[in-house]
Structure 1
């Protein structure tokens, strides 16, 4: 038993620590692709150093990307220029529509009409690889499996699903349907179904992390005179990496199906404000082809900050 003299002294609550942003080397190379499809090696090595990467780490990554046919290399060392191949350019095409849709939802401009969108498929075992690819595509598009061969989304995803289905040559094995009367067992409450079908707690944690990463960088960007061009580019890469990590698993459920306040709304707003400041700095510093990251997020950031 503890006596009065043994009562522990209360300690002040500790401030949450800023998360460490981990940027894979491959992601860094892809993030620094410019609008003319090239990567400047000197810029790549300088940014990598600010992110704690070694020159050897970058060299090995470049070598792998060239061997894989993702980039070609002209020149050597810091004077080299990497050029994205056609396949890489296609893979790096931004999902601008999905990013824009997320911000429209945040602004209350895309209310849910109560319709569930379902995709059902029965693909023979002889086409197992295509079947697995279809499942992966449906998950990437925000679908949730509710039974074997049956996936659901709260968004009108049919054009995107059909494009994947046609590429996989599975159109004859897939059915599309919509309904406003969907229940699982005795559960027909849409928000409860959404909680059961999508990992909302994990998705919310990703946005809380994006929020924690964005806050100190927003403070830095408000005094741009204290940042070099290389430091601003590093911040852009870090923010883009965390934004991608948060957005990739997010099915972009309508606000009507989410707990409120939803962490994604505030995290995306902070990110947009960061990017608005970065975009302004890029416009004043830019000479020649700019980094594609600014092309991707700049327009969205301007729309959000203008409407806010």
Structure 2
């Protein structure tokens, strides 16, 4: 049996395909931006069809992106060419440095130093939007709320938080501190604290889903191509790449990247990330036409293409 509980191919036929990841149409458009900043509409509609999207969905999404000033459009329909006005790679995946840190942790190159990083702020109700932006920044960086206006993380992100607070004009309202003896009530054990502060079961479930999908992708990439298939090889690889990007992002974005010392064992995150790196290397090795010219491949290839360096 596989991790998803479906019969393995070796036990009598190829395993059933797991449910397709939900791919936002906007992410698909961003994923198909080439190195020259263009999107070929014919390719966009073709890959969208493989992902179960309708032409109407694509048209509406393109219209919104153009109205938002993210793209310009030359031509109409499948003969159109979209041109990115702003760098769209931020819409594709977690920050590259964040992903590299995850792989360094997996390789044992980023052990925890036992330090908790705490951030406190008091922003008045009259500046609610600023307060919400600061809170969202902390949550995005993996911090967890301890109580009103007080957040904690295990990663040294003080410089990033300070830069955001300065940009928002609330640096004078913030307190930065570190501790090696955090206690919540009577709980002092670091692993128990982590389990109380972060939704680890939910994060693990996302990684288990990612593992199931990555295993299926590897099986598909290794399988001989059906000579009777009408699906263009390049379009199929693009569809797989976009689905991988969507599922990887879904698993990683809520992950505070706790060090292994604070996680339950076994933890599915490291294994899922290894499988994703394997998938990406197979995809990059399928040729230099089409897919390899996308920013999506550069983004993931540069991040996952080499083993993490030792300090």
Q: Alignment RMSD, CA only?
A: 2.3
SS at match of 2:293: coil
Pick closer, same or farther for the CA change 1:166–1:306 going to 2, 3 Å: closer
Does 1:269 find its partner at 2:269? no
Shift of 1:223: 4.0
Shift of 1:164: 1.5
Aligned to 2:13: none
Does 1:160 find its partner at 2:160? yes
Does 1:207 find its partner at 2:207? yes
Shift of 1:304: 3.5
Select 2:298's aligned residue among 289, 295, 300.
295
Shift of 1:300: 3.0
Q: Deviations over 1:186-229 (max 9, x none)?
A: 11100000000000000001101111111111111124755701
Aligned to 1:278: 283
Aligned to 2:12: none
* Aligned-partner Cα distance in 1 for 2:161–2:153: 11
Q: TM-score, normalised by structure 1?
A: 0.89
Q: TM-score, normalised by structure 2?
A: 0.88
Q: Which has the higher mean CA deviation after the structures are superposed, 260-269 or 27-36? A: 27-36
Larger radius of gyration: 1
Moved runs in structure 1, 4+ residues, more than 3 A? 87-94, 223-227, 304-307
SS at match of 2:181: coil
* Aligned-partner Cα distance in 1 for 2:224–2:95: 29
Q: Which structure 2 segments of 5+ residues have no match? A: 8-15, 227-231
* Aligned-partner Cα distance in 1 for 2:239–2:89: 22
Aligned to 1:216: 216
Q: Deviations over 1:126-169 (max 9, x none)?
A: 21110011111110110000011100000001122122212211
* Aligned-partner Cα distance in 2 for 1:248–1:174: 25
Q: Deviations over 1:111-138 (max 9, x none)?
A: 0000001111011122111001111111
Shift of 1:267: 0.6
Does 1:254 find its partner at 2:245? no
Determine if contact 2:118/2:152 at 8 Å carries over to the other structure: yes
Determine if contact 1:143/1:151 at 8 Å carries over to the other structure: yes
* Aligned-partner Cα distance in 2 for 1:280–1:181: 48
Shift of 1:292: 1.1
Q: May I ask how many residue pairs the two structures share in their alignment?
A: 293
Q: Which structure 1 segments of 5+ residues have no match? A: 1-12
* Aligned-partner Cα distance in 2 for 1:232–1:305: 26
SS at match of 2:119: strand
* Aligned-partner Cα distance in 2 for 1:71–1:161: 31
User: Which structure shows the bigger proportion of residues in helix conformation?
Assistant: 1
Aligned to 2:183: 183
Aligned to 1:53: 53
Shift of 1:235: 0.4
* Aligned-partner Cα distance in 2 for 1:304–1:96: 14
* Aligned-partner Cα distance in 1 for 2:139–2:90: 20
SS at match of 1:142: coil
Shift of 1:94: 5.9
Shift of 1:30: 1.4
Determine if contact 1:73/1:83 at 8 Å carries over to the other structure: yes
SS at match of 1:86: coil
Does 1:228 find its partner at 2:219? no
